[in-house]
Amino acid sequence: MENSADGVYDVVILGGGSGGYSCALRATQLGLSVVLIEKGKLGGTCLHNGCIPTKALLHAGEVADELRRSESYGVKSTFEGVDIAGVHEYKDGVIAGLYKGLQGMLKSRKNLTLVEGEGRLVSPTEVEAGGVRYQGRHVVLATGSQPRSLPGLAIDGDRVVSSDHALFLDRIPESAVVLGGGVIGVEFASAWKSFGVDVTVVEGLPHLVPAEDVDISKSLERAFRKRKIKFELGSRFSGVEYTQNGVRVSLENGKQIEAELLLVAVGRGPVSAGLGYEEAGVALDRGHVVVDELLRTNLPTVSAVGDLIPSLQLAHVGFAEGILVAERLAGLPVSPIDYDGVARVTYCEPEIASVGLSEAKAKEVYGEDKVVVSKFNAGSTGKSKILKSAGDVKLVQVADGPVIGIHMIGSRVSEQIGEAQLIFNWQALPSEVASLIHAHPSQTEALGEAHLALAGKPLHVHG
């Protein structure tokens, strides 16, 4: 399909993951002609190697844990173990259904051309794929990210694996070391523990999930100790060697840990090398494409979105960035994304969900004496007692001003972050949230109670 007599498309998008396909959908909706080039499967990392498969594994683990403790609810059951082939069948079925739906949605757009093949930027207005050059009035780079490793640490896919390998392991290891205590690391540690794996997390920084508020990190550490998930904090990796039955991981503090395998979960890096970006004149910084607040590169005809740029590596951020670029190219007014206002969730057990500033960051921005903090024991609500869920809600407020940070930990808090996101982004005052009536019994009551306390009228507290 060509959009004009000269064969020039309005937009050529390189990469069909969250950022790329959302840009394509919105651009076609706005009447632009689009070429979307993807070398793998549409949906990218999130659908095939990230968000969706990991959450499927975590839910399977949740079911296993519930069966183990079913008698505590008065329900007798027999837990016979985890059938990893069956888990993969369930996981792959979820992916297949979503993938089919996405393919159908994209193929239904009459002003969208899908190209399967590895693309390369050959000029500020052209991408080549399969020997064909696709010219656009604008090019959007959305080539995503891939698992990182450490210098000298070779990932073999067998005993030393990345998150990509871990998603498709055909066995449940007896033991594992997880290198990295960030989101990816603690999610796999949580799922594997539910499957019966003896897990040790190694994190070089002082706390697990170091990007979260420190009180939430400490709560997760307590929960992991209760679940018998081991961890080494402030301990840097120094090497790994093969043993007869697995690996021996060495730390700089002299400790050694033996396990069946090592999962390297030290983050993800941008996919930008060898794609012609530098040759075409696109500015890079440590592999990331450099963009301004409206996702424009240094070249007026090139934008970039998703994990390729140094913003939050979250699928929903990629979606938002893709939509912003599409609307800007269509001539609509757009505003920069407030990344502090984006919901962040870690889907381990217990879950972590947050939005806005941590206490430490708030004090850095506003000053020590301008920040007020409120905490509420989320495990004390009726619904949490029913679910046997512990947890906490922590609020950060500017003195006499709005709530600027909401941090939650507990079962299913990912389903409560929507209200928290509204509170932050609408700059709500504690008194305004306190006036809302939260359903009883529900876990959202904890959010309401925390705001009641911050508004100076705590209800369910001793005293």
Mean pLDDT by runs of 10 across the 463 residues of the chain is 61 96 96 95 89 94 94 94 95 94 91 94 96 96 95 93 94 97 97 97 97 97 97 95 95 96 96 96 97 98 97 95 98 97 96 97 96 91 88 95 97 94 96 93 91 84 52
User: Does residue 440 carry a catalytic annotation?
Assistant: yes
Integer angstrom CA distances of residue 259 from 154, 182, 198, 244, 365 = 17, 20, 8, 11, 43
Return the structure tokens found at 7.
């064969």
DSSP 88-140: HHHHHHHHHHHHHHHHHHHHT-TTEEEEES-EEEEETTEEEETTEEEEEEEEE
Return d(Cα 138, Cα 299) in angstroms, integer. 10
Query: Cβ contacts of residue 194 below 8 Å, gap of 6+?
Result: 58, 60, 61, 62, 64, 65, 349
Instruction: Return the bridge partners of 270, or none.
Output: 145
pLDDT at 461: 62
Condensed to tens digits (0 to 9), the pLDDT of residues 292-329 reads: 999 999 999 999 999 999 999 999 999 999 999 999 99
Give the tokens for residue 391.
Answer: 């947890």
Catalytic residue among 48, 316, 440, 451: 440
What's the pLDDT at 423?
Answer: 96
- pLDDT given at position 20: 96
pLDDT score, position 6: 54
H-helix or E-strand spanning residue 404: strand 403-410
Distance of CA 146 to the CA centre of its chain: 13
Which pLDDT score is estimated for 380? 87
